[in-house]
């Protein structure tokens, strides 16, 4: 229940921030905003203030701002979206993505001030010396691996281990974990992990041969807590957000390139249930982790929305660019049909990801 509430709160913040971008720029441009909705119809509740209905809808994953004339009609009405210059309309469309990026910048600025957990490596350098609360944590778990079967979780701290001879060792570096796992191929081990301030011991039988994802199926990393003065945290937050955005864009590029050329996904797609699960794990680890995770999701939402795919902000922006070069609006029926197909494909992707998420749970 707590995980669900945290997830709803996180999604609510991300949606409100994104849609507020569209809303604010549209109002500043003199457009009539007919509805500001959280979730998708059918409508659960709504109230009208001025010319805008503020609504909460039954389908909770997403939101929308309905602008008068956004589908190309009412071009002669002064408060219509379609009546405004292409540059103005483009600003309205990209405003949501911009707000998501700015939210990530703010969260990472705050994180750098209160203390943000980063990978510090195993070496003794200046960053390692400045870091506090050093841990070796799990950053990735391979599906159907021994780690997955043992119910290890992302963000678990690896405290120590016991080999098949009964010898127990504590952990201080990620390399120690890798060396221990390699030395115990084919043997049963005990792994001590800390989660939610509780220490648990997991008994795991390692395979004899590495099939490419590691014998245990984890990516361990040494992490530490770094914090900076407020004036330094400002530019570091911006720097981190730019780096995160660039890396996320590269990741999406590789994902879609592999999907189009080979018909394969580089990684499993997570739907709402998968994101909710990781949100709960991040929140359980602490407020700082949740800050970083929400910043990551906000950047992902920005990059995903700017992709020139029908029904997304990037698809709508592409239509405006086509209109600019064409010298006349794209046929309304054709644009509506393209957006409908795009929306249907997105819904199918969400259903697929949700089914995969449920399959992982059971």
- Decide if 213 contacts 146 (C-beta within 8 A): no
Asked whether residue 10 falls in the same domain as residue 104, the answer is: yes
Model pLDDT, residue 81: 95
How many residues does the structure list for the chain? 362
The verdict on residue 303 lying in a domain is yes
The verdict on residue 259 lying in a domain is no
- Decide if 240 contacts 232 (C-beta within 8 A): no
Asked whether residue 107 falls in the same domain as residue 151, the answer is: no
The verdict on residue 298 lying in a domain is yes
Asked whether residue 6 falls in the same domain as residue 109, the answer is: yes
Identity of the highest mean pLDDT range in 84-98, 134-148, 175-189, 270-284: 84-98
Cis peptide upstream of residue 42 (ω within 30 degrees of 0): yes
95-150 pLDDT tens trace: 999 999 999 999 999 999 999 888 887 777 777 778 888 999 998 898 889 999 99
47-89 pLDDT tens trace: 999 999 999 999 877 899 999 999 888 888 999 999 999 999 9
**Considering its fold, how many domains does the chain have in total?**
2
Q: Residue 124 class from Cβ within 10 Å (0-12 exposed, 13-18 middle, 19+ buried)?
A: exposed
Q: What is the CATH number of the domain that holds 183?
A: 2.30.42.10
Residue 140 structure tokens:
């990735």
- Decide if 95 contacts 21 (C-beta within 8 A): yes
What is d(CA 358, CA 362) in angstroms, rounded to the nearest whole number? 7
Mean pLDDT, residues 297-326: 91
Asked whether residue 167 falls in the same domain as residue 72, the answer is: no
CA 335 to centroid of chain Cα atoms: 29
Residue ranges making up the domain that contains 211? 126-226
Higher pLDDT, 299 or 73: 299
Asked whether residue 15 falls in the same domain as residue 76, the answer is: yes
The verdict on residue 349 lying in a domain is yes
Q: How far is CA 361 from CA 155, 187, 277, 354, 358, in A?
A: 18, 27, 10, 11, 5
Final residue belonging to a domain, choices 201, 226, 251? 226
The verdict on residue 258 lying in a domain is no
Model pLDDT, residue 287: 82
Mean pLDDT, residues 6-18: 90
Residue 97 structure tokens:
């993505």
The continuous run of DSSP H or E covering 50 comes out as: none
- Decide if 21 contacts 58 (C-beta within 8 A): no
Query: Is the confidence at residue 270, as pLDDT, over 90?
Result: no
Q: Where are the beta strands (DSSP E) in the chain?
A: 33-49, 52-67, 116-119, 132-141, 157-162, 168-170, 188-195, 198-205, 218-226
How does DSSP classify residue 81? G
Model pLDDT, residue 352: 66
């Amino acid at each position: 229940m707590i995980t669900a509430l945290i997830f709803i709160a996180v999604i609510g913040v991300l949606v409100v921030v994104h849609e507020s971008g569209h809303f604010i720029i549209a109002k500043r441009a003199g457009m009539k905003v007919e509805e500001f909705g959280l979730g998708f119809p059918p409508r659960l509740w709504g109230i009208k203030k001025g010319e805008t209905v503020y609504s909460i809808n039954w389908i909770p994953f997403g939101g929308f701002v309905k602008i008068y004339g956004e589908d190309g009609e009412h071009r002669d009405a002064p408060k219509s979206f379609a009546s405004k210059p292409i540059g103005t309309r483009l600003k309205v469309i990209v405003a949501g993505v911009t707000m998501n990026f700015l939210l990530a910048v703010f969260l990472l600025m705050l994180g750098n001030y209160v203390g943000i957990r980063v990978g510090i490596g195993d070496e003794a350098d200046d960053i390692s010396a400045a870091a506090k609360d050093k841990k070796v944590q799990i950053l990735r778990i391979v599906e159907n691996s021994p780690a997955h079967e043992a119910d290890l979780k992302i963000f678990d701290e690896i405290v120590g281990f016991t080999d098949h001879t009964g010898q127990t060792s504590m952990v201080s570096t990620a390399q120690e974990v890798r060396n221990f796992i390699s030395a115990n191929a084919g043997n049963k081990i005990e792994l001590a992990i800390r989660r939610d301030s509780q220490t648990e011991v997991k008994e795991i039988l390692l395979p004899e041969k590495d099939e490419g994802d590691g014998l245990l199926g984890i990516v361990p990393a040494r992490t530490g807590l770094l914090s900076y003065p407020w004036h330094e945290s400002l530019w570091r937050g911006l720097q981190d957000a730019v780096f995160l955005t660039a890396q996320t864009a590269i990741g999406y590029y590789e994902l879609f390139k592999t999907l189009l050329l080979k018909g394969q996904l580089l990684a499993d797609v997570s739907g709402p249930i998968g994101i909710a699960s990781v949100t709960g794990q991040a929140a359980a680890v602490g407020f700082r982790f949740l800050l970083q995770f929400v910043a990551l999701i906000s950047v992902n939402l920005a990059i995903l929305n700017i992709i020139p795919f029908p029904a997304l902000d990037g698809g709508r922006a592409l239509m405006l660019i086509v209109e600019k070069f064409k010298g006349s609006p794209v046929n309304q029926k054709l644009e509506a049909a393209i957006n409908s197909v795009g929306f249907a494909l997105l819904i199918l992707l969400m259903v697929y990801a949700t089914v995969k998420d449920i399959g992982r749970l059971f």
